């Protein structure tokens, strides 16, 4: 039982559980948005007041595509929100944190190999390098 407690109380498992719960709640919000906002707009264009009842007939078989359109709209909204509110900010944050780091290497001006920033001679071409002052 102690091993199970350690597993459950690890940070990754708790973070994952919180993410799943928030994701489910967010999915409910998006579904409601699609149902109450986008579906009426599409129904104005199609002339049908219930998007989920849209269908076409092919060789006597009824193919319902309205639910698929609802699911597709929901997916696109979720993907847009995740991209603009999670992925882009995380990329910006990562670029910001990386830009503040001091470089640890420099290119050799003669052979273009990468050498440590404090090196005074290139290990590849043995050229004398100018000393870089570290802060």
Domain locations along the chain = 2-101, 103-135
Structure tokens at 43: 């129904």
pLDDT value of residue 134: 46
pLDDT value of residue 59: 93
Report, in this order, helix, strand and coil percent for the chain, each rounded to 5. 60, 10, 30
Kindly give the confidence (pLDDT) of every residue in the chain, 135 residues in length, as a single tens digit, with 9 standing for 90 and above.
Answer: 888 877 777 767 777 888 899 889 988 888 888 888 887 887 788 777 677 778 889 999 999 888 888 888 888 888 888 888 888 888 888 777 767 677 888 999 999 999 998 889 999 999 998 865 544
The third-level CATH classification (topology) of the domain covering 2-101 is 1.10.1200
pLDDT value of residue 132: 58
pLDDT value of residue 131: 67
Beta strands in the chain (DSSP E): 55-58, 61-64, 105-107, 114-116
Taking the mean position of all CA atoms in its chain, how far away is CA 54?
32
């Amino acid at each position: 039982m102690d091993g199970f407690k350690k597993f459950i109380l690890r940070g990754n498992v708790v973070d994952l559980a919180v993410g799943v719960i928030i994701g489910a709640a967010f999915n409910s919000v998006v579904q409601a948005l699609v149902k109450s906002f986008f579906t009426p707009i599409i129904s104005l264009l199609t002339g049908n007041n219930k998007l989920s009842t849209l269908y076409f007939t092919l060789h006597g078989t009824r193919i319902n595509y309205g639910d698929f359109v609802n699911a597709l709209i929901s997916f696109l909204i979720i993907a847009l929100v995740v991209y603009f509110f999670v992925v882009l900010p995380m990329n910006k944050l990562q670029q910001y944190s990386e830009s503040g780091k001091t470089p640890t290497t420099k290119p050799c001006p003669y052979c273009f190999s990468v050498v440590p920033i404090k090196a005074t001679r290139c290990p590849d071409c043995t050229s004398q390098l100018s000393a870089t002052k570290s802060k």
